[in-house]
Each structure stands twice: as C-alpha cells, then as structure tokens.
Structure 1
Amino acid sequence: MHTELAFYAAAVPAVALAGLSKGGFGGAMGMLAVPVLALVISPVQAAGIMLPILLVMDVISLYFYRRIFDRPTLAVMLPASVVGIAVGWATAAYVKEDFVRLLVGLISILFALNYWFGDRLRAKPAEPNGAKGSFWGLLAGFTSFVSHAGAPPFQMYALPLRLDKQVFVGTSVIFFAVTNAVKLVPYFFLGQFDAANLGTAAALFPLAALTTVLGIWIVRVIDQTLFYGLSYLFVFVIGLKLTFDGAMSLFMH
C-alpha cells in the first residue's frame, strides 16, 4: 500500500475527478484520473489501482440510476462493447496505447467542433441508429480496455440523442459498470491486481464514494442546457489532452 505524501497529492484529485464523473457530472473528465496518477507511479499500476475504485463508484451510481436509463441505447452498445474488449485483449501485445489516445483525441475534438459549429446537430436530436451505436459501442469497449478512454466514443453516439440529462447519465452509468466488470477478467490475467494495488485502492474508497454522490447531486440540480453544454466542453478538453499525450509519445520520443 502506498503511504507517500506525493502519491496522495495526485491520488486525491484523481479519485475526486473520477467520482464526480461517475456520478454523472463532468462526463469524460474522469479519464484524467489515470494520467494524473501516472505522474507519480507507472501507468500500468495506476490503472490497476483505479479499476477497483471505479467498480465501487459503479455500484454507488447503479443504486441511484438503476431505473433511469435508455434501454435501446444499451441494447445496441453493450454487446458491441464486450466485443471491443475482446478485440483489445486479443491485440494487447500489438496495439500502441499512444496511437489509440491520439486517434480518440482527434475524433473527440472534431466531434465537439461539429456540435458547436454544425447547425444540423443543433437543430434536432439525432435518431437512434443500430449501426452507429454498434460501431461506437465497440470502439468504446476497445479504447476502455486499451487506454481507459471509453467515454468519448460512448458520448459520440449518446450525446446527440439529447436524452433527458438523468437518463443520459443513467445509461452511461450502466454501460460503463458492465464494461468495467467485463474488464476484470482480462485485467486479472494480465496481472493488474496485487495486494499493494488493492490495499491502496481500499484506502481511497471513502473519497470515491463521497465524490460519486456529490456528482449525482450536481446532475440533479444543474440546468439541462448547461449540463449538455458542459458535457461537450469536457469532451473537447479531454480530446485536447489525449491528442497532446498521444502526439508527444509517438513523435517526440
């Protein structure tokens, strides 16, 4: 178990970001948790510590959102996500995380820009589409497994549907709760869990629970228009971060 002050200086904001995101506020901002932790420990260890914490957050969020979700969206995206995880596991030795980050980052930036400057997307909600939902679901599962970057692909399909804010969050909660649970199997076989990581994760569980509940409360009181505006902004910011990290690693080393 980690006891260093520097570790917790990074771990506390990392878990807080993930908790608010899991509660539904901040959307993809929870993806910053692993990069923040990776400032003080290895990215692999950061992922191993965060996954049990994410599962605790999932349980709390599921309790609040267990009856508030969009069934058609989950019916299309969840099976595809499981396939994406399997593809990620099968290709783990060949796929570069940095390339995935760069690709998802660029797509996220274009997605947000298209929303802000494309009148067609602002005019009316998108119609459900099985092919699109399956594609983005598969990509969400794959990128979630490879680089913990599943939120942007999920949002690229779900945000344009313009669901009620709580229905959108509930759908996201269930999607990633199932996705994270499925990831437990390959992560176990890849050696992501050990006593030190699990002990450190357990020490951060109270903060994880508190910030998740706080995120749920914020979603309930925030204006729906503001909620969607912030969601697209967070996608854009995360896109910039992923693009920068991927480009720096691929082209500057």
Structure 2
Amino acid sequence: MPQPDIAFWLVAAFSVVFAGISKGGFGSGAAFAAASILSIVIPPGQALGLMLPLLMLVDLVTLRPYWRGWSWPDARLLILGAVPGVALGAALYRVANDDLLRLLIGVISLTFVAWQLARQQGWLALSRRAVPMWGGALAGVTAGFTSFISHAGGPPAAVWLLSRRLDKTRFQATTVLVFWAINIMKFVPYAFLGIFTQQTFLLDLALAPFALVGAWLGVLAHRRVPERVFFAITYVLLSLTGLKLIYEALV
C-alpha cells in the first residue's frame, strides 16, 4: 500500500463514516460504497482488506439492537448459500489483477444504482409470492460472491428477503445477521490471500473511531434524515465512483 497521505486520510475518514451511517441508520445495502470510494486512492484489493474489519466492527455494534429479531430459516438459507459464493470469490481474487477488480467493483456499483432506481420507478417489480427454496440458496451464493469481491452482497439478499414478506424490523434484523456471518466467513480467506497486512491493521485501528461515530450518526440520521435523501447521495457517489473505476480499468 502506498504511504498514506492527506488525500488518503480524507477519503478514508469520509468512506468509513459513510459506511457506519449506512449500516447504523439505513441498513447495510449502501455500505459497500466505502470500498468503491477507497478504490480511487488505493488499490482495490487493499481497499477491500482495509474496510472488512471496520465493517465487522459496525456489524458488532448494530447486531445487538436486532438480537433474535431475525427470521432464522431465511438467514440460515442465505448464510449456507453464501459459503460457496465466498469460495468462488476467493478463487477469482487469486487470479484477478487490480484492473479486473476495479472493473468488477465499478460494474457492481453501477448495477446497484440501476437496480435501486428501477425498483423506485416501478420498472422492476420484485415478486412477493412464494419463491422456491433454491431461489434463496442462489441469492446466498450471489450475495457471498459479490460481498467477497466488493462488499456488495445486499441486493441479492434483498431480492430473496422481500419475497418472504417480512416486516421491516425482521427484514433489517435478518440482513444484519446474514452479513455479520458473511463478513466473518470472508475474514479467513482474506487473511490467507494476503489482503490484510500489518499496515492495514494499523490503519484500521486509527479509523475505528470513525466507524463508531458513523454508526452513532446513522442512528440519529435514521430519525431525522429522509431515506430518499440519503440514498440519492449514495447513488450519485456510486455512479461517479463506478464510472471512474471502469475508466481506470479500461484505459
């Protein structure tokens, strides 16, 4: 990793606070924007490694308020499905270079924005009828894979959970539990693949307070900031970041 400079610290602090706000106040769906933004100033693999312990810290903080509020059968299906997804992500990471990772993260960022806008405009209607169990397993595989390579497993998991007709609190609690488990799964292969280093560990210690502040701000923002405003900002950030990463990967 290059020697951290002022630009790194400014971008990193903003990214980590943003991830904390997203997880603490608006669910985990947009938290992966932090890794996308960080990939602009450091190599994408290092951005993923730097963010994972911080996301796990926020997971730990936000898990308690939703303790046992989840739908265990749905969470179990997604978690079990995520195991081969994480393995596939690890296999791809072993052969991917930085440009391929930038391209994948950029494409996933733009796909996330397109998916969310299509839902809001009514162009994409997610079924709320019963979905076969294999659909949940497939959602888990996809969530594990996209989470491993970009921390962006939210949309595949949401597709399954929305079809299960869960109430808002049970949906959120199940999401928190699923990604707490997936992030733990990712930790071991991240370590074996050398994504964590002594330098990223020291940087995580320095950035941990920003993650906690972000989670605290997220709780406040949940009550005071309209969800539409927060996600509008997220979509702009992800669109600009995704386009830049794709451009850097292809040029």
| Partner in structure 2 of residue 13 of structure 1 | 14
Q: Distance in 2 between matches of 1:129 and 1:44?
A: 35
Contact 1:104/1:239 (CA < 8 Å) preserved in 2? no
Q: Distance in 2 between matches of 1:246 and 1:187?
A: 22
Contact 2:109/2:242 (CA < 8 Å) preserved in 1? yes
Structure 2 residues not aligned, in runs of 5+: none
| Partner in structure 2 of residue 244 of structure 1 | 243
Count of residue pairs brought into register by the alignment:
247
1:161-240 alignment runs, 5 A limit? 161=164, 163-219=166-222, 221=223, 227=227, 240=239
Q: Distance in 1 between matches of 2:229 and 2:134?
A: 27
Tell me, yes or no, if structure 1 residue 111 matches structure 2 residue 115.
yes
**For residues 113-162 of structure 1, what are the alpha-carbon distances to aligned partners after superposition, in whole Å with 9 as ceiling and x for unaligned?**
5433448838x844354222211211110111122222222223334555
Q: Secondary structure at the match of 2:93?
A: coil
Q: Distance in 1 between matches of 2:68 and 2:186?
A: 24
Q: Secondary structure at the match of 1:39?
A: coil
Q: Decide whether aligned partners of structure 1 residues 203 and 102 sit closer, same or farther in structure 2, where only a CA change above 3 A counts.
A: closer
Query: Please, which moves more after superposition, 142-151 or 33-42?
Result: 33-42
- The TM-score with structure 2 as length reference comes to 0.81
**For residues 7-30 of structure 1, what are the alpha-carbon distances to aligned partners after superposition, in whole Å with 9 as ceiling and x for unaligned?**
221111100111012214164321
Query: Please, which moves more after superposition, 47-56 or 178-187?
Result: 47-56
Q: Distance in 1 between matches of 2:110 and 2:213?
A: 33
| Partner in structure 1 of residue 53 of structure 2 | 52
Contact 1:26/1:230 (CA < 8 Å) preserved in 2? no
Q: Distance in 2 between matches of 1:88 and 1:120?
A: 27
Q: Distance in 2 between matches of 1:69 and 1:237?
A: 31
Q: Decide whether aligned partners of structure 1 residues 178 and 120 sit closer, same or farther in structure 2, where only a CA change above 3 A counts.
A: closer
**For residues 208-233 of structure 1, what are the alpha-carbon distances to aligned partners after superposition, in whole Å with 9 as ceiling and x for unaligned?**
112213324544x479xx65x67986
| Partner in structure 2 of residue 97 of structure 1 | 101
**For residues 182-240 of structure 1, what are the alpha-carbon distances to aligned partners after superposition, in whole Å with 9 as ceiling and x for unaligned?**
11111111112222211110111122112213324544x479xx65x679868866774
Identify the match of residue 125 of structure 2 among 113, 121, 124: 121
1:23-172 alignment runs, 5 A limit? 23-25=24-26, 27-94=28-95, 96-98=100-102, 100-101=104-105, 104-105=108-109, 107-109=111-113, 111-118=115-122, 121=125, 125-159=128-162, 161=164, 163-172=166-175
TM-fit CA distance, 1:109: 4.8
Q: Distance in 2 between matches of 1:119 and 1:97?
A: 29
Percent identical among aligned pairs is 31
- The TM-score with structure 1 as length reference comes to 0.80
Q: Decide whether aligned partners of structure 1 residues 217 and 161 sit closer, same or farther in structure 2, where only a CA change above 3 A counts.
A: farther
- Superposed CA RMSD in Å reads 3.3
TM-fit CA distance, 1:105: 4.7
Aligned residue type for 2:48: A
Q: Distance in 1 between matches of 2:118 and 2:90?
A: 32
Q: Secondary structure at the match of 2:29?
A: helix
**For residues 62-110 of structure 1, what are the alpha-carbon distances to aligned partners after superposition, in whole Å with 9 as ceiling and x for unaligned?**
1222222122321221111111001121233345435544654565355
Query: Please, which moves more after superposition, 110-119 or 198-207?
Result: 110-119
Q: Decide whether aligned partners of structure 1 residues 127 and 114 sit closer, same or farther in structure 2, where only a CA change above 3 A counts.
A: farther
TM-fit CA distance, 1:5: 2.6
